[in-house]
Amino acid sequence: MRILIVGAGATGGYFGGRLVEAGRDVTFLVRPRRAEQLRQHGLQILSPHGDIILDPKLVTADRIDGPYDVVMLTVKSYGLDSALDDMARAVGPDTMIFPVLNGMRHIDALIARFGEKPVLGGACQVVSTLDAVGRVRQLADHQQLIYGERSGTRSDRVEALDRALQDADFIARVSDDILQEMWEKWIALATLGAITCLLRGAVGDIEAAPGGTAIALQVLEDCVAVATCSGHPPSEPVLAWIRAFVTEKGSKMSPSMYRDLSHGLPVEADQIVGDMLARAEGFGITSPLLAAAYANLTIYQRGISAA
């Protein structure tokens, strides 16, 4: 199975690198600058699960060699539009598009560009970042890819994808309700992103601040209301886990959005917080805290764009 990883950053570089390490036929679609960096220094992964240096197969958008069996889309959501143009020549009539972007808005964009058939649902769980010299640093132990047909059926093509992703030093599993899992992840990310970026602190800092726990739980409640109106209320065990996670005493946890903001980098404001707020407003749900967080992030984003 020929796999094209769109992006070789913190997410694509990590999972793609583990697949290369396991002997899979993987090519990375990258921009010229990243291609040169990887050719000079290799794809380097620093991880609790073992450090590796790889010499990956690379391609730029103008040199894609025909359709691939799987196109795994791993870019940040604000890079989606350009990624769709870059990967277009890789998508054939039987290609599976496996996105692991945050939120849900990218699904509509993929369907609009490539049609219903190629687009799977997907999610990932990994805490990783690119350091100053382009190495992928995994910051926590967990690492998982989740995928499935958006209809919830078990198709032959998803079973083939599942076989290709097994035994690559991360958890890979088919979901029979991938949209539900994507929504549950989005609830957690939108809550975490909103509270940490608005209040400028990790989970434990917010819990320790006057009113911090109440703010976190109110944002969570608003996100859950949006998911429920959308037909994807979180299960009670998942909701209990998120509630405990976003109010954990002493936790150093912060999402990638907050880490990016702290380093003056672009953030997925529109896709994670803004889209959740837009859907809330569409359902008549009032969420002053989501609105404040999104306004804050929009001001930040405009500031770095103007710099």
- Single out the residue in 111, 144, 176 at which a domain terminates: 176
CA–CA separation, 290 vs 19, rounded Å?
38
pLDDT in tens, 182-191: 999 999 999 9
CATH code, domain carrying 287: 1.10.1040.10
pTM: predicted TM-score of the whole model, two decimal places: 0.93
Q: Say if residue 160's pLDDT is above 90.
A: yes
Q: Say if residue 288's pLDDT is above 80.
A: yes
Q: Percent of the chain scored above 70 by pLDDT?
A: 100
- Single out the residue in 156, 176, 196 at which a domain terminates: 176
What is the chain's mean pLDDT, rounded? 96
Sign, CA torsion 64/110/85/258: negative
CA–CA separation, 72 vs 118, rounded Å?
11
Q: Say if residue 139's pLDDT is above 90.
A: no
Q: Residue 206's pLDDT is what?
A: 98
Q: Say if residue 66's pLDDT is above 80.
A: yes
Q: Say if residue 140's pLDDT is above 90.
A: no
Six token digits for residue 33: 């600058």
Q: Residue 141's pLDDT is what?
A: 84
Average pLDDT over residues 225-248: 97
Q: Residue 132's pLDDT is what?
A: 86
Contact 28, 59 (CB under 8 A): yes
Q: Residue 306's pLDDT is what?
A: 83
Helix axes 275-282, 288-306, angle to 10 degrees: 140
**Upper half-sphere CA count for residue 202 (Cβ side, 13 Å):** 9
pLDDT in tens, 92-120: 999 999 999 999 999 999 999 999 999 99
Q: Computed over its alpha carbons, how large is the radius of gyration of the chain?
A: 19
| Overall domain count for the chain | 2
- Single out the residue in 176, 199, 224 at which a domain terminates: 176
CA–CA separation, 284 vs 123, rounded Å?
28
Q: Are residues 156 and 50 in the same domain?
A: yes
Q: Are residues 69 and 193 in the same domain?
A: no
Q: Which domain holds residue 59?
A: 2-176
Q: Residue 171's pLDDT is what?
A: 96
Split at pLDDT 50, 70, 90, the class of 305 is: confident
